[in-house]
Amino acid sequence: MNMIIATHNAHKLEESGRILGPLGITGQTAELAEAEEAGTTFRENAYIKAKSACDETGLPCVADDSGLSIDYLNGEPGVYSARYAEPGKRKATVLEKLKGVPEEKRGAHFTSAICCVFPNGDVLEAEGYCYGRIAEECRGESGFGYDPIFICTEEGCAGKTFGEATAKEKDAVSHRGKSLRIFAEKLENYLKDKEG
């Protein structure tokens, strides 16, 4: 089954492909108009992007909205993760704001909300979370975004930043890995119901 993955982020497309591919789903991108992310939650923004892409292409569209929430910063950057500071300065901005903050107060989590909108108006949604803390400096060359400053505390990846983890390790515990697996299960059931 072909689906439009509503993202301009090559890393997200690759991550989605690794997890949805075994279900027989082929994710593809399209030249899409930029949807205005006016939602106040990750879930709202994922729906806005998926609905806009579905309306534009006439195909089932999957969109993700995700970000980092830091306890000490009252949940910032949250839904503004991709717009928190100038490009290239987001990690440095977070590290600067947490300068001198002790390890026990550096708790954080990633959230990934996934939404799929079908041309018939049906909607499937899923959310996943990954917990950890913010490092005192960037570590590792893998991943993207805030990955090098996020130390995962979940089994299988504990103690590593997402920048140090392998793709396999990250997929097993990451917020997007979890939400994609929940979504994949819902999609499988949805498609079975439609066939039945």
For the four alpha carbons of 37, 43, 46 and 48, in that order, the dihedral sign comes to negative
Alpha helices for 39-143 (secondary structure H): 42-57, 90-97
Contact in structure between 62 and 28 (CB atoms under 8 Å): no
Contact in structure between 4 and 61 (CB atoms under 8 Å): yes
Q: What is the Cα–Cα distance from 89 to 186, expressed in whole angstroms?
A: 37
Contact in structure between 118 and 63 (CB atoms under 8 Å): no
DSSP letters, 81-100, are GGGSSSTT-HHHHHHHHTTT
3 state DSSP class of 58: coil
Closest CA to 32 of 50, 45, 18, 44: 50
Among residues 64, 65, 147, 171, which one is catalytic?
65
65 annotated active-site: yes
Closest CA to 173 of 155, 161, 160, 185: 155
Instruction: List, by residue number, the catalytic residues.
Output: 65
